[in-house]
């Protein structure tokens, strides 16, 4: 899919006052499962990190697995049956991340071209990979896909700019939060509502939402945080993500509306992030233990 139109900054309606939510109690999230990618599916090479990134309405998660050799591959996990796919890599490149999945189990993500160190997008309709690069971009990072096959993500342009992109009905536009040095579109739902985050001129991350008409709401920040990342939404536009506190500890977050934020820490974890949510309110995410190993989790939110 090629981008023929020039960079478009969507500024139709800008809400410039900070949107700061209250924080709800963590016991409203119930962990359903903790999991690690099995090394026997990876030629018995030990796993260093299991990182789920999105979950579809059937409960299938897509993510990234990193083994102790540093190899980065994608995977699909059906948490209801406990079955993992074999790790997968785009045939055109090396390190491959699984970023988004829809109900058809179509997967999007990016891979690294080892020869020139550029990143390229892919669309996987098992077992077939196809290229997905935004025309004119140096790097393309697809981060989310909805059930209509529309894809969102971020790109790096030759001048160094890093806007978000949205490919809706195969029509691609880029957009950026005003004043941002980088904008990430992490997921879009059935109504083409987008949720993501951006980096400001001071290097601080803030969340934002974008409605189907292109109107942006930003910044969305957890009170007292030093950075907020919104990573996934569902068809009701409930959101998940993470934030970092003043002690540089990262916590998971969840909201029905961004002015009422719930936080979650996996017990004993040094880092927690919630990365995807489906229409039933089932979320996926990951946490780091005291040894620095990343483990996947699936949980149910109870609003």
| Helices and strands counted in the chain (H then E) | 0, 27
Could you tell me which residues come within 8 angstroms of residue 125 by beta carbon, excluding any fewer than 6 positions away? 104, 106
* Structure-block tokens of residue 88: 């997968």
3 domain residue, yes or no: no
CATH of residue 106's domain is 2.120.10.30
For 220, counting Cβ atoms within 10 Å of its Cβ (0-12 exposed, 13-18 middle, 19+ buried), the class is buried
26 domain residue, yes or no: yes
pLDDT tens by residue, the chain, 303 residues:
333 232 222 222 222 233 444 444 444 789 999 999 999 999 999 999 999 999 999 999 999 999 999 999 999 999 999 999 999 999 998 999 999 999 999 999 999 998 899 999 999 999 999 999 999 999 999 999 999 999 999 999 999 999 999 999 889 999 999 999 999 999 999 999 999 999 999 999 999 999 999 999 999 999 999 999 999 999 999 999 999 999 999 999 999 888 889 899 999 999 999 999 999 999 999 999 999 999 999 999 987
Look-up of token digits 């478009």: 8
* Statement: the pTM of the whole predicted model exceeds 0.85: yes
Strand partners, 100: 108
6 domain residue, yes or no: no
9 domain residue, yes or no: no
* Structure-block tokens of residue 269: 């974890």
**Residue ranges making up the domain that contains 44:** 14-301
20 domain residue, yes or no: yes
40 domain residue, yes or no: yes
Number of domains in the chain: 1
* Structure-block tokens of residue 198: 């951006």
Look-up of token digits 């990342």: 229
CA dist 200 and 181 (Å) reads 6
2 domain residue, yes or no: no
CA dist 155 and 116 (Å) reads 16
CA distances from 44 to 10, 47, 65, 67, 197 (A): 48, 9, 13, 10, 37
| 214: three-class secondary structure by DSSP | coil
* Structure-block tokens of residue 147: 């059930």
Residue 169's pLDDT is what?
86
Largest pairwise CA distance in the chain: 53
């Amino acid at each position: 899919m090629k981008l023929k139109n020039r960079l478009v900054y969507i500024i139709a309606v800008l809400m410039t006052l900070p949107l700061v939510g209250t924080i709800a109690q963590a016991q409203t999230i119930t962990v359903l499962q903790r999991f690690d990618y099995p090394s026997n599916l990876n030629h018995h090479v030990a796993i260093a990190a299991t990182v789920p990134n999105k979950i579809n309405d059937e409960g299938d998660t897509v993510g990234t697995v990193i083994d102790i050799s540093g190899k980065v591959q994608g995977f699909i996990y059906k948490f209801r049956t406990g079955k993992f796919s074999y790790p997968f890599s785009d045939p055109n490149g090396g390190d491959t991340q699984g970023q988004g999945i829809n109900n058809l189990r179509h997967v999007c993500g990016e891979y690294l071209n080892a020869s020139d160190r550029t990143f390229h997008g892919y669309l996987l309709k098992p077992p077939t990979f196809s290229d997905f690069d935004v025309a004119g971009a140096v790097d393309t990072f697809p981060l989310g896909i909805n059930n209509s096959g529309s894809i969102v993500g971020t790109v790096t342009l030759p001048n160094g700019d890093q806007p978000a992109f949205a490919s809706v009905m195969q029509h691609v536009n880029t957009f950026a939060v005003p004043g941002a040095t980088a904008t990430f579109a992490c997921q879009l739902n059935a109504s083409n509502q987008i949720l993501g985050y951006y980096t400001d001129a001071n290097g601080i991350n803030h969340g934002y939402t974008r409605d189907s008409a292109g109107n942006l709401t930003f910044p969305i920040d957890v009170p007292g945080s030093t950075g907020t990342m919104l990573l996934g939404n569902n068809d009701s536009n409930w959101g998940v993500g993470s934030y970092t506190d003043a002690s540089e500890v990262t916590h998971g977050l969840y909201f029905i509306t961004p002015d009422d934020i719930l936080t979650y820490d996996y017990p004993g974890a040094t880092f927690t992030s919630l990365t995807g949510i489906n229409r039933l309110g089932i979320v996926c995410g990951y946490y780091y233990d005291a040894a620095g190993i990343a483990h996947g989790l699936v949980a149910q939110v109870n609003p």
